[in-house]
Structures are given as C-alpha cells and as structure tokens.
Amino acid sequence: MHRLFVAIRPPGQIRDLLIDAMDEGPGLAWVGDDNLHLTLRFIGEVERPLANDIADALQLIRFPPFDLRISGVGRFDRKNGGAIWAAAEPRKPVVELAAKVERSCASVGLEPERRTFHPHITLARWNRSSAEIAADFERRNSNLSSEPFAVNRFVLFASHLSRHGVHYEEIAGYPAA
C-alpha cells in the first residue's frame, strides 16, 4: 500500500520564512522544513496499480505557472485540538489547479473529496490543552506575509509513517505547461 497526496512544495526562502515564524513554545507540534507543503489533494492508501494510474493521470494536467504568496495565519479547530496554518493567496489559480487534480483522481476511480478546498500550509498541530497557545500564535502572526513565489510544478508524494514521525518522498513532479 502507498499513502499518497498531491502538493505544492514552496521554495526555500518561503519555507525559511515559515520556520522563522515558528515558536519554541510548548504544546505545539511544529512541522519540519522537509514536510512544509500546500496539499492539493490527499489520496490516502492505495495499491500499486492504482498509484501508477494516479501518477499517469496527473501527467495529463496542463496548467499555467502562477504566483502565490503567504498572507496571514489561521487555525482549524477540532474537538481534540487542531492545526495552525499559513494562508496562500491568491486563491483562484491554486483552487483551479486543485480542481484539475481532483478531476484526475476521479478519472481513475477515487472517491471525490468532500471537504471544501482551503489553500494553506500546515505549520503545527495542537491538542485541546494547547488551544490558548495556538490562539496566541495566531494573534501574534496575523500579518505574516511573503513576497510572491512562482508555482511552476506540483508533486505526487508518498507519506511514510514511522515511530520517528512522518517522512515524505517525492514520487513524481509535474511541471506547468
């Protein structure tokens, strides 16, 4: 089984900006540099034949290069915790690319994604007892922003879970046309 997702990997200077914003405070599980990405579609666990079909279908996507920028931070609140994220704007080109990825995934038989797409880069996860720490981080970093950066490819990643955490492996990259 392969645990897959499709994402945009921000360039080094953007990842540095995000890492610099992260605190060393307790209660938040920060994402490391190697794992910073903007998910276009989480696929989940699939067998090798379907993984190959997904990789082939993604090759058919055509999209023009576009610019994104970091524009603030926010939180997803869940019953037992949540996630802190950096927003990516403008939304339109990344939403259009995510829709193309979604159609490609559907073309090989994947169930449609039911959640509304929200372009973001996850920075940290937190549990219920750290809700105020997460809210404080969000307040202090509400104006986090970057210069525009070029998006000229997206990537199919495999996610490997281990006792040491998660490791992402690039399976294939797909350039803008």
Catalytic residue (one of 118, 120, 160, 167): 120
Peptide bond into 26 cis (omega under 30): no
- Measured in Å, how far apart are the chain's first and last C-alpha atoms? 31
136-145 per-residue burial string, b: 16 or more CB within 10 A, e: under 16? ebbeebeebe
- Tell me the one-letter amino acid at 111: E
Catalytic residue (one of 2, 37, 164, 167): 37
Q: Has 37 been annotated as catalytic?
A: yes
Can you tell me the distance from the alpha carbon of 134 to that of 127, in angstroms, rounded to the nearest whole number? 9
Q: How far is CA 127 from CA 28, 90, 155, in A?
A: 8, 30, 29
HEC states along 12-43? HHHHHHHHHHCCCCCCEEECCHHHCCEEEEEE
Q: Has 120 been annotated as catalytic?
A: yes
- Tell me the one-letter amino acid at 5: F
Residues with a known catalytic role: 37, 120
